């Protein structure tokens, strides 16, 4: 399993509790954090799927564009039909 390194900041209380739990269970702090995050993400995803945010639906759309930089020609990319002649169709 490929992993990515992340840096997080814990409160002093969280750090102490995590250390105690790791010692009590014989597990690494990292494995406990990964397990807790997996459980949280599963619950959060179910909740998000149950009441989708309109913005998340928008972000799922795939828009074909020739523009590499989205700030260039954004009106054309957003307001022109894919088969339209560039420069026509905008008002």
pLDDT of residue 90 exceeding 60, the answer is no
Pairwise CA distance, residues 72 & 91, whole Å: 18
pLDDT of 21-73, one tens digit each?
Answer: 999 999 999 999 999 999 999 999 888 777 767 777 777 777 676 656 666 66
What are the structure tokens assigned to 3, written together? Answer: 């992993």
Largest CA distance in the chain: 69
Other Cβ atoms within 10 Å of 86 Cβ, number = 10
Question: Which pLDDT score is estimated for 49?
Answer: 77
Per-domain residue ranges of the chain: 12-79
Question: Which pLDDT score is estimated for 66?
Answer: 65
Contacts of 49 (CB under 8 A, 6+ apart): none
């Amino acid at each position: 399993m490929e992993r990515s390194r992340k840096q997080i900041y814990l409160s002093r209380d969280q750090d102490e509790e995590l250390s105690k739990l790791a010692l009590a269970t014989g597990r690494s702090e990292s494995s406990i954090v990964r397990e807790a995050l997996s459980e949280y993400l599963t619950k959060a995803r179910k909740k998000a799927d149950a009441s989708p945010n309109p913005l998340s639906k928008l972000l799922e759309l795939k828009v074909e564009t020739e523009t590499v930089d989205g700030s260039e020609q954004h009106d054309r990319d957003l307001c022109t039909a894919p088969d339209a002649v560039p420069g026509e169709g905008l008002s």
